[in-house]
A and B are shown apart, each in its own frame.
Chain A
């Protein structure tokens, strides 16, 4: 009891930066069995309450312990369509693992001792994928059931489509990009979520009858109203929070200042790291700064670092953050990985302006030193800039990763959809139905920036409401 947790094998840091291969290797069967055996099987498990979709964690871990991996997979699938994805990208240290009884009380995130629930989830998820397990479809493509249009093929859209298809609904998913997956594809780099994992989960949906329509922007190519007139009787909006925020400081539009979405999409979606074989370019900096403290900031820094390595440039990538490491919203594991790989951190630094090189390219970032003041609405201590503390950082490429907002294209084209002060959609919290009858929503377009699993939780709720009201 209470033995040391099994750390998964990882690619050595110096090898990782040479490419985009997956960093964390999954558990072997022996490792999974050992880790599962550490679970205390609490009488009243808190872990499931920490899970946004309420996976029966205790049960699936005990099934792993009994070597019934098939059962473990189906236990996961009851609540989570994509265990192989969530096992890789969930910030479990803030969710199930933080709630684990082995986490020290009052801790901001999970203790090392907590059960590695995410790795066990990944193990069982990959077992299911590798063995072609899938849930049965009831009543496939039943023409008596309403046709459903799902808008957006990110985590929320995929989840909703999967839930509905399993119940025999005919579902078409509309995606504006040329590839499906949304933020899972353009945002999360393959060293965290290999493309074959994502592709296989999407192929699974195709296998149970979900139809994907790419290159179709609802709100432009056709309106929401058009969808109804084409015979869809229910619509789920999972369009995400796709619009990058900027800092609003001088010099922000100098060349080589990227939004995190642009930088990551060029590489993750368009394969710019393989230019010129792929035609989309991206620049590589000698002195790269990434501004922000979330997972996307970390992702961007690790991509920038790999670009430096691939191009034979000495590694120099720094994350600039207004607070300290403790307040960073990023996953602890990602922070650790980034720093192993060579990403440096400039904490308590508040960007003030960019200076150019006279040819329109960024050259320096001027910052102010900050100190931590009183906690703000997020509960984290607020950074307060110190007057007269200006300092400069060399910077010939900068990525701004300070948050995302809701995309307004569909909302602008559909005035009947009610939004809140953040321009997120207002929904009925029980059914996820919007102000338009038959139109449901979930994911970041409702809750603002959240996690993959939170988006899936909302999508699932919406799917249930659609199923129950049909």
Chain B
């Protein structure tokens, strides 16, 4: 649970994205692409889920990448090598189903670019042709382009404002690709509106689309049901039934609403945290 290394990938006033490696020999041995851990940054902290971006069994380390958004990610972002987390549990959830699909498109929005990385590597290793589409708000927030180039056959980078790569959204590029060629699977991770738009588009082309959902969790082991999502009208727990689901069945509005349940508390806690630091 010790922080081994830390790198600030984006450190602008608008956003901070941080990569940390943790000493977690047990988890590093069994973690597979698509799985996650639950972390508690400190004793009085919350339990939050984070995708395992990389696992190095030899070194006994796992890597997490997160954007500082809520209180826990801010605390995590303030840790230094040598610091210990209060709790770390994993690997949780089902691994992404990796097999030879043929031509696969991975879509990563914002910090979702980090979450598609292990899937890109695994898909590539399995002999798939991998195309990655990465979308960011602006040039400052672009992360992991180089890393994804190493594990994809083709990479497209877009920014909302056109300050880097093509101007536009990930679905714009996705549409072009689907119009021009034939693909067998889409895997998307990012903000809910992005995943929803990817899903709506891919349905028109009748391509199987998997999304990794970012529901709120407490235990992460199926005990509390906080992370429940409706998929094809049935209640599923993201933690034990997911986090990957068939995008066509997801009730996006419900997910978006449920993810906002504690926004007022989150804002308040973050304000106190900033004041405490200042």
Contact = CB atoms under 8 A, between A and B. Distances in A.
Interface of A: 176-178, 186, 214-217, 220-222, 242-244, 246, 248, 252-256, 258-259, 261-262, 265-266, 269-271, 275-281, 283, 359-361, 407-409
Given A220-B221, A244-B223, 13 more contacts: A178-B40, A220-B92, A221-B30, A242-B223, A253-B251, A259-B226, A262-B224, A275-B269, A276-B272, A279-B71, A407-B221, A407-B223, A409-B240
A215 B72 CA distance: 18
B257 interface: yes
A280 B218 contact: yes
Contact of B265 (A178, A256, A275): A275
Most buried by A among B27, B90, B229, B262: B262
A277 B276 CA distance: 12
A248 B218 CA distance: 22
B39 to A, nearest CB: 10
A44 B92 CA distance: 53
A270 B257 contact: no
B26 A216 contact: yes
Query: Quick one: which of A256, A360, A361, A407 has the most chain B CB within 10 A?
Result: A360
B219 A265 contact: yes
Contacts of B83: none
B44 A220 contact: no
B269 A176 contact: no
B46 interface: yes
Contact of B269 (A178, A276, A408): A276
Contacts of A361: 257
B261 A246 contact: no
B261 A215 contact: no
Query: Nearest 10 A-B pairs (CB), nearest first?
Result: A360-B257, A178-B87, A281-B265, A262-B224, A259-B225, A242-B223, A279-B46, A278-B44, A281-B262, A280-B46
B77 to A, nearest CB: 15
A189 B178 CA distance: 55
A238 to B, nearest CB: 14
Contact of B261 (A243, A256, A261): A256
B88 interface: yes
Contacts of A253: 228-230, 235, 251, 254, 258
A231 to B, nearest CB: 15
Contacts of B265: 275-276, 281
Contact of A360 (B45, B258, B266): B258
Interface residues of B, number: 45
Nearest to A222: B26
B268 to A, nearest CB: 6
Contacts of B60: none
Contacts of B47: 178, 270, 280
Nearest to A177: B219
A261 B223 contact: yes
B219 A255 contact: no
Interface in B233-247: 235, 240
A303 B226 CA distance: 18
B79 interface: no
Given A283-B261, A360-B253, A262 B226 contact: yes
A254 B261 CA distance: 10
A439 B90 CA distance: 23
B218 A408 contact: no
Nearest to A281: B265
A176 B27 contact: no
Nearest to A404: B223
A243 B225 CA distance: 8
B265 to A, nearest CB: 4
A351 B258 CA distance: 22
B99 interface: no
Interface centre among B218, B228, B235, B272 (most CB of A within 10 A): B218
A221 B240 contact: no
25 contacts: A176-B221, A177-B219, A178-B87, A214-B87, A215-B87, A217-B90, A221-B26, A221-B30, A243-B222, A243-B223, A244-B223, A244-B225, A252-B235, A258-B226, A259-B226, A269-B218, A276-B265, A276-B268, A279-B46, A280-B45, A280-B218, A283-B262, A359-B257, A360-B253, A407-B223
Nearest to B26: A221
A409 B237 CA distance: 12
Given A215-B87, A270-B218, A279-B72, A265 B30 contact: no
A220 B30 contact: yes
A259 B254 contact: no
Contacts of B46: 270, 279-280
Which of B90, B222, B268 has the most chain A CB atoms closer than 10 A to its own CB?
A: B222
B188 to A, nearest CB: 22
Contact of A242 (B40, B221, B256): B221
Contact of A266 (B218, B240, B260): B218
B84 to A, nearest CB: 12
A215 B223 contact: no
B218 A178 contact: no
Contacts of B100: none
Contacts of B89: 176-178, 215-217, 221
Interface in B174-229: 218-219, 221-226, 228-229
A378 B265 CA distance: 43
Given A253-B230, A270-B46, A360-B254, A246 B225 contact: yes
